[in-house]
Structure 1
Amino acid sequence: MREYEFVLADVFTERVFGGNQLAVLPDARGLTDEEMQALAREFNFSESAFVLPPDDAAHTRRVRIFTPDEELPFAGHPTVGTAAVLAARGAVRDRLLLEEGVGLVSVEVEGTFSRLTLTSPYETPDHYPSVTAVAKALSVSPEDIVETWYGGVGLRFCFVRLADRAAVDRTVLDRTAWLAEPTSGEWSRNLYVFAGHFKDGGRLYSRSYADMLGGAEDPATGSAAAGLVAAMAQRHGCRAEEYTLRIDQGVAMGRPSDIHASARARDGALTSVSVGGHTVIVGGGTLHLPD
């Protein structure tokens, strides 16, 4: 019988039972790919993180992230939460270099607050999502939609800016309608809706319907926050050195999240994006797996 310790945490929150749930295996050595996927399905959180020794000894750890259905190259709340869990256990110092599918991710930890930094480029295609298709998929009127676009840093999203918070709360995903839209899968089917002051220093109210989670609502989506603040910096021509956003998500689900996002630029070009928040450790235990 093999034994593996696991830790349960709530990420992007300062209170238990808020934010986004995460299962972390601080030492996943010996687990096969199939076992990691099966355990992610067993925990049935939006993501679970499996920590391994780094491929490069100069780095802190290697982290593999799984939804109940697939492995992801990167995700925000598992990265932030895993760093906080490792720091709380005294296993690492206050700055970590984590190897993930998108490459090296730097994370700074101060107490319960962790902030990841990505240097991956902001990606956006030449085409835009159909407002009519997006409105139908979200069960809102086209008049509720201010703008839509595709973008992402690490993970891709269909961003939908709505007129106000009430419109965000009215959204109900019709996944069948969204999957039926011929162009919805060309770049991303992950729908991220928001309203508020989309400007430097602004605060947004959001909801996220992640195709990678089968269309389920996600209480906190750090990877989307990274893409959103990068998009804002790009719109301003990256003329300032730093842009910041605060994002409230998960409120309608009863799991409120508070996400801090920032983008930095130099000489008119985006250089990095950061996403951070608090993590609360809820509990943990031991898994008993057959040899």
Structure 2
Amino acid sequence: MTRYLVYDVFAEAPFEGNQLAVIPAADTLPEAALQQVAREFNFSETTFVYPPEDPAHSARVRIFTPTMEVPFAGHPTIGTAVALVEAGLGPEMVLELGIGPLPAHAAQGAARFTTAAPLEVLAYPEPALVARALGLPGDRIVTTRNPPVMASVGLPFTLTELADRAALSACRPDTAAFEAGRDAYPGALDFAQYAYVRDGAAVHARMFAPLDQIPEDPATGSAAAALAAYLAQDERPLRLSLRQGEDMGRPSLIGLEADGRSVTVSGGARRIMEGRLLL
């Protein structure tokens, strides 16, 4: 039997934030079981922790959505770092991810990591297609300051500024439009959408990836990191407090700092349950 832990990540209280399953001793599982286990939990991500390949590092971490393995994601990195420090590692650590070694710090139920992965601007999707995907009238999409952009610091998301908080709440994803976006932009994580509203240092956001069996994600650190890196091209240093998940009843809080060279993502993680996989 293999132990598992479940955390609420980027949460300020139990039953908030984004759920994460952590398998601390994944080397006890057969390779073929990893995707099946992630699908069984059906959280946006599950992490599988292995001994590091480099003995100077803390752990090797593999991240699975319900449908695929991904090289990097934010809330799995935060939650896994907290799980590792609770197991006696850290507080400083280096995690081996699909994007390479990533420095992290965890203590007292919170963690942060810093990524220096370069910002990739992959495309500027048509605002009309983005509006269809979000189920919004076209005039709710901001096209002047920061038009919709597909960007990545490890995982690609379409970052779209909306006119106001009411527009963010009004989003109703249209799966057919996501399919059209996936076909138009292959390799772009099924046209995952990160819609946001900004007021100075305060940001509210929502993330939709229905083609990856994630109708809505309560907290998306990798998308938040891409947004910070993108905005930091014109604003340095940049510090943001980002709230996500409020419209789906799982409020989350993500801290962001960017200087044009790297992005630091921070937040809390609370262990909410644990058990055994009967495999």
- Alignment TM-score, normalising by the size of structure 1: 0.90
**Partner Cα distance (1:150, 1:179) in 2:** 16
Q: Bigger shift: 26-35 or 95-104? A: 26-35
- Aligned counterpart, 1:183: 184
Contact map agreement 1:226 1:273 (CA 8 A) in 2? yes
Instruction: Measure, in 1, the Cα distance between the counterparts of 2:153 and 2:203.
Output: 19
- In structure 2, relative to structure 1, the CA distance for the partners of 1:52 and 1:227 (3 Å cut) is same
Query: Which 5+ residue runs of structure 2 have no aligned equivalent?
Result: none
Give the Cα separation in 2 of the matches to 1:89 and 1:212: 35
Secondary structure in structure 2 of the residue aligned to 1:271: coil
The whole-number CA distance in structure 2 between the counterparts of 1:109 and 1:212 is: 33
Q: Distance in 1 between matches of 2:209 and 2:65?
A: 11
1:136 counterpart = 2:147? no
Question: What is the identity, as a one-letter code, of the residue corresponding to 2:180?
Answer: A
**Residue 173 of structure 1 aligns with which residue?**
173
Contact kept in structure 1, 2:179 and 2:211, CA below 8 Å: no
Name stretches of at least 5 consecutive residues in structure 1 with no aligned partner. 265-269
Q: Which residue of structure 2 aligns with residue 19 of structure 1?
A: 17
Task: State the AA in 1 paired with 2:264.
Answer: S
Question: Within the alignment, does 1:217 sit opposite 2:205 as a pair?
Answer: no
Q: In the TM superposition, what is the alpha-carbon distance from 1:60 to its structure 2 partner?
A: 0.3
> Out of 193, 196, 213, which is 1:194 matched to?
196
Q: 2:91, 2:107 within 8 Å by CA — same for their partners in 1?
A: yes
The count of corresponding residues between Structure 1 and Structure 2 is 273
2:238 corresponding residue in structure 1: 243
Q: 2:115 aligns with which of 111, 114, 118?
A: 118
d(CA) in 2 for partners of 1:214, 1:206 = 19
Instruction: Give distance in 2, aligned partners of 1:18 and 1:78.
Output: 15
CA offsets 1:44-95 (integer angstroms, 9 cap, x no match):
11110110000100100000011111111011000100010111232x0201
Cα deviation, residue 178, structure 1: 2.5
Whether the 8 Å CA contact 2:66–2:213 is kept in 1: the answer is no
SS in 2 for 1:234: coil
User: Equivalents in 2 of 1:136, 1:8: separation in Å?
Assistant: 35
Write the distance in 2 (CA, Å) between the matches of 1:143 and 1:62.
Answer: 45
Let me know the Cα RMSD of the aligned residues.
1.5
Question: TM (normalized to structure 2)?
Answer: 0.94
Deviations 1:256-276 (A, max 9, x none): 000001112xxxxx3211111
What is the match of residue 248 of structure 2?
253
C-alpha separation in 1, matches of 2:55 and 2:134: 46
2:278 aligned with 1:288: yes
The Cα shift of 1:280 comes to 0.7
- Residues 269-288 of structure 1: pairs in structure 2 closer than 5 A: 270-288=260-278
Query: 2 CA distance for matches of 1:165 and 1:135?
Result: 15
Aligned-pair identity in percent equals 41
Distance 1:16 1:133, change over 3 A: same
Question: Which amino acid letter does the alignment assign opposite residue 198 of structure 2?
Answer: G
- 1:120-177, CA deviations, whole angstroms, 9 ceiling, x for partnerless residues? 101103x411011111111111110113111111111101100011000100110112
Structure 2: how far apart are the matches of 1:49 and 1:215? Answer: 16
CA 1:36 to 1:97, structure 2 compared with 1: closer, same or farther past 3 Å?
Answer: same
Displacement of 1:111? 1.1
Q: Which amino acid aligns with 1:93?
A: G
